[in-house]
Structure 1
Amino acid sequence: MKQAKASIVIPTYNRAHLLPKAIQTSLNQTVECEVIVVDHGSSDDTPKVAGSFGEAITYVRRERDFGPHFCWLEGVLHASSEFVHLQFDDDWIEETFIEECLQRFDPETGFVFSAARIVLENTKQVIDIQFDDWLPETGSYPVGMLEKRFSPL
């Protein structure tokens, strides 16, 4: 495998039925990406599903669940790329998503964030778009605005 331009970290727990699409859309990126699936204690077919992708992904398993934040942390610790994309096991991303995100980085950029479409998989109907109310267009935003938005206080 060539040096990955980005690492995609997918936490999972007992959602084997959702995992294949998250993995496949991550592998289908237009730039080289490493895909790291972090499973904290699934008791379903998650290990088998991850294993079906062979060496195309890195699979990290722990017997105890500590939630997605610890999975993301563990995935970042396994990442070999400078850039890391954090997602969920029920997310799928467009083929150009990572490429477009990487194009947004410059020395003044700490992270890239986007709106998210919520889609009914069976009908492909978009039922919601999250985050577009406060990130209405592509651009750079002051860190203070984002801190207020993400801060629990």
Structure 2
Amino acid sequence: MAKISIVIPAYNIASLIGQTLESVVRNKADMDIIVVDDASTDNTCEVVEQYMQVHQNIRLLRSETNTGPGVARNRALALVDSEYCLFHDADDLLGEDAVNTVLPLMDSTGVDVAAFRYSVLRTADEIPGEMPPVDKNIWDGVLGDRESAIVELDEAAQFLVTINYPWNKIIRTSFIRSTNWQFSTARINEDILPHWAAYMNAGRFLAINTSLTTHRLVPGREQHTNTFDERRLEMFKALEDTEKLFAENRIFRAKYYPVFVIFKAGLLEWVNRQIRQDLRSLFREYASYSYRHFTDEDFDRVYRINPGIALGSYRTKHSHR
């Protein structure tokens, strides 16, 4: 049994996955690397197989049909038997010391979830830059100049509204099993559900104030981040899957639902500005329906935090009645 499994969903990423695998295997740790090919039509599998010939700890799962990254990750997760798990993306770069930095700290502290800073590479020939301000400001505000810290979610709930990336977190596999933690099957924003589930179920987590992975925003390549056609509407399934966490757990709803409403409002505003013009009416109809769980009590609680978002959420809820 490996110490950690690195799960990598892949789809038509032949030009980049070799660099990604190179970055992963540079971590000299006891790793099980699982690549799930999501029915690629290019030579992604051939590239992975070349690396498998050199690195015995890489295995490849092939899907007959394209199901999206959430389903691909869940498929691999069912096979994981390591102590820890990291869900990496096929076009990102893992830091050389990432695994050996995080795992000893998780071992010594006994935490189930560890999160770390990341960098962003926006062009192929530049030096990676800082993460977006929404995340940087939260990390700076909570961690300051500390190298790492155990963070209590009740004291730093703003971490819930950091961008819901899965690849800057390492999670204990037994915690995943015990909390029925998984990705949404939505093709867009499938990582909202595990982001909120990880933090809320853990209640406390290790925050490492060092960038240990690089997110590549590749110019000219279609990525879910910049998809604003019909596929973006799947975000409402991802949001609904996350709403179920609050419906099933009164403590989560009492503590964190106003934060979720604020997060959702920001996400909807961002998408509304960019979604294709002919889809805006349908998008707004879906948005209105997504607020059916938003009660008068929720309005009051959000209003005390952010009156503008409370009023906007109320208007969105009643805009298609």
Output the TM-score relative to the length of structure 2: 0.43
In structure 2, the gaps of 5 or more residues are 163-194, 197-259, 262-321
Residues in 1 aligned to 2:8 and 2:123: alpha-carbon distance in whole angstroms: 19
| Cα contact 2:130–2:136 (8 A) shared by 1 | no
Larger deviation: 130-139 or 17-26?
A: 130-139
| Cα contact 1:42–1:63 (8 A) shared by 2 | no
Q: Which of 9, 16, 19 does residue 17 from structure 2 map onto?
A: 19
Q: Which of 27, 30, 33 does residue 29 from structure 1 map onto?
A: 27
Residues in 2 aligned to 1:86 and 1:57: alpha-carbon distance in whole angstroms: 14
Name the SS of the counterpart of 1:123 in structure 2.
coil
Greater share of strand: 1
| Cα contact 2:33–2:58 (8 A) shared by 1 | yes
- Pairing 1:3-152 to 2, within 5 Å after superposition: 3-54=1-52, 55-105=56-106, 106-107=109-110, 109-120=111-122, 122-130=124-132, 131-136=135-140, 137=143, 138-144=148-154, 145=157, 146-147=159-160, 149=162, 150-151=195-196
Residues in 2 aligned to 1:35 and 1:124: alpha-carbon distance in whole angstroms: 28
Residues in 2 aligned to 1:20 and 1:121: alpha-carbon distance in whole angstroms: 18
| Cα contact 2:16–2:90 (8 A) shared by 1 | yes
Identity of aligned residues (%): 20
Name the SS of the counterpart of 1:20 in structure 2.
helix
Query: How many residue pairs are counted as aligned between the two chains?
Result: 150
| Cα contact 1:26–1:33 (8 A) shared by 2 | no
**Bigger-Rg structure (1/2):** 2
Residues in 2 aligned to 1:78 and 1:119: alpha-carbon distance in whole angstroms: 31
Change (3 A) 1:121 1:6: farther
In structure 1, the gaps of 5 or more residues are none
Output the TM-score relative to the length of structure 1: 0.86
The CA RMSD over aligned residues, in Å, is 2.0
Q: Give the drift of 1:122.
A: 3.3
Q: Give the drift of 1:135.
A: 2.1
| Cα contact 1:36–1:57 (8 A) shared by 2 | yes
Change (3 A) 1:125 1:27: same
